[in-house]
Structure 1
Amino acid sequence: MLEVKGLRAGYGAVEVLRGIDISVSKGEIVAVLGANGVGKTTLNKALSGVLPVTAGRIVFDGVPLSGSSTAAVDAGLIHVPEGRKIFPNMTVLENIELGSYRRGKKNRTRNLENVFATFPRLKERTGQAAGTLSGGEQQMLAIGRGMMAEPKLLILDEPSLGLSPLLVEEMFNLVRRLNQDGLPVMLVEQNVVQSLEIASRAYIVENGTITMSGTAAEISANPELKRAYLGL
């Protein structure tokens, strides 16, 4: 579904990604894990065409991406960014409908029903200003907006960030449920333990490179994981 080879990108003279190789197949949840500042969000921006790449290639659904954000969206590579990035002064419904601005417009009514079936709380708050929602509800809104674009692959950037433990559990259950419905997910997270519980495979990112990759079970059992995260 997604194949990334030798990806390099950064900001000005500062190179952040130093030859990233990752892949996501149909039906998978693939976790991309790493501490804050190792390049995970830069990777997402490069995949989405928001940040230009300096080397490497990105192939999505068998087609090379051109490097523009509209090309990624039009192809069905949908990125739910870190920090939700909702429009706080617009209503919940307006935020959701914006998800179909470039893709999925013809099926907007059907997709809206699907979002409300997945997130009944959003249906109760359609006329409410999005900025007045709780953190968990804003994350639901961001994911619901992404679902409106009929994703072939959904990139979730730190969906558990800033949520209470109970809501974190709910969020990971949601990711698992979306995947069981047939949606491949690339889960980009600092939350290692719960990400590995639901992922089929995982990559560990350190200093802009992949330092570990394998099945979730292999990564969980690797003593290098403790070294990378706990300094042991």
Structure 2
Amino acid sequence: MLEVEGLRAGYGSVEILRGIDMKVEAGEIVAVLGSNGVGKTTLNMVLSGLVRPRGGTIRFCGRSLAGASPAEIVASGLIQVPEGRRIFPNMGVRENLELGSYGRAKPNRAANLEKVFAIFPRLKERIGQFAGTLSGGEQQMLAIGRGLMAEPKLLILDEPSLGLSPLLVEEMFALINSLNADGLSIMLVEQNVVQSLELAGRAYVIENGEVAIAGSAASVAADPELRRTYLGL
């Protein structure tokens, strides 16, 4: 579904991504792991068309994304839920969700809204509230719901557990598993190594803008370097 080869990108004179190779197959969860500053968010920005690559190729559903605008990438079905949620706090829950279908799936807006409310009943209960008055967990639900409104073929989740309580983190990962069980392909970009590897089928660990470890989630979890660096074992 998503094929990335030799991807290079950066800002000004600073190169952040130094030849990333990765892929996401249809119907799977792929975890992209790494600590702050290793290039995960830059990777997401490039895949979404917000940062232009300096080299390499990106193909989505068999088509090159070279030169594609963010709007064209969204229209193709590659949807990102960004780090920090990026909701519109002074707009209502409904309005935030409806904006998710602005560039894709607009004819199905009403039906998709009901699907989102079935997944997130709490959002339906708070439909009349301003988004900024929601709790952190509810805001994350809103951000994911907004992404689902666009009928994604591949959903990129950037740090969905960030800032959530341990209980809400458990709920969030259970939700991601449920979405995937319904057939949604997911690229999970996280610092939460242990739970991400329990959920994903395959994983990539990024260090200094390069893929340091890659393979099945089980093999990555058992890698001595990962256990030493991230788990302190």
Instruction: Report the TM range for the smaller structure's normalisation.
Output: over 0.9
- 1 CA distance for matches of 2:29 and 2:232? 27
Tell me the TM-score normalized by structure 1.
0.98
Report deviation, 1:206: 0.2
- 1 CA distance for matches of 2:150 and 2:13? 34
1:226 paired to 2:217: no
- Residue 204 of structure 2 corresponds to 203
- Residue 46 of structure 1 corresponds to 46
What does residue range 81-96 of structure 1 map to in structure 2 within 5 Å? 81-96=82-97
Report deviation, 1:67: 3.5
Shift of the 18–231 alpha-carbon distance from structure 1 to 2, 3 Å rule, reads farther
CA RMSD of aligned residues (A): 0.9
Which segments of structure 1 move beyond 3 Å, counting only runs of 4 or more? none
- What is the number of equivalent residue pairs in this alignment? 232
Report deviation, 1:227: 2.7
Question: Residue by residue, what CA displacement relative to the aligned partner does 1:152-200 show, whole Å, maximum 9, x if unpaired?
Answer: 0000000000000000000000000000000000000000000000100
- 1 CA distance for matches of 2:62 and 2:229? 34
What does residue range 93-172 of structure 1 map to in structure 2 within 5 Å? 93-172=94-173
**Percent identical residues:** 71
Residue 13 of structure 1 aligns with an amino acid whose one-letter code is S
Tell me the TM-score normalized by structure 2.
0.98
- Residue 60 of structure 1 corresponds to 60
- 2 CA distance for matches of 1:62 and 1:109? 30
Report deviation, 1:127: 1.0
Compare 220-229 and 175-184 and name the one that shifted more. 220-229
Runs of 5+ unmatched residues, structure 1 = none
| Equivalent position SS for 1:5 | strand
Report deviation, 1:80: 0.2
Question: Residue by residue, what CA displacement relative to the aligned partner does 1:71-117 show, whole Å, maximum 9, x if unpaired?
Answer: 21010000000000000000000000000000010100111011000
Residue 221 of structure 1 aligns with an amino acid whose one-letter code is A
Is the Cα contact below 8 Å between 2:33 and 2:193 reproduced in 1? Answer: yes
Is the Cα contact below 8 Å between 1:21 and 1:210 reproduced in 2? Answer: yes
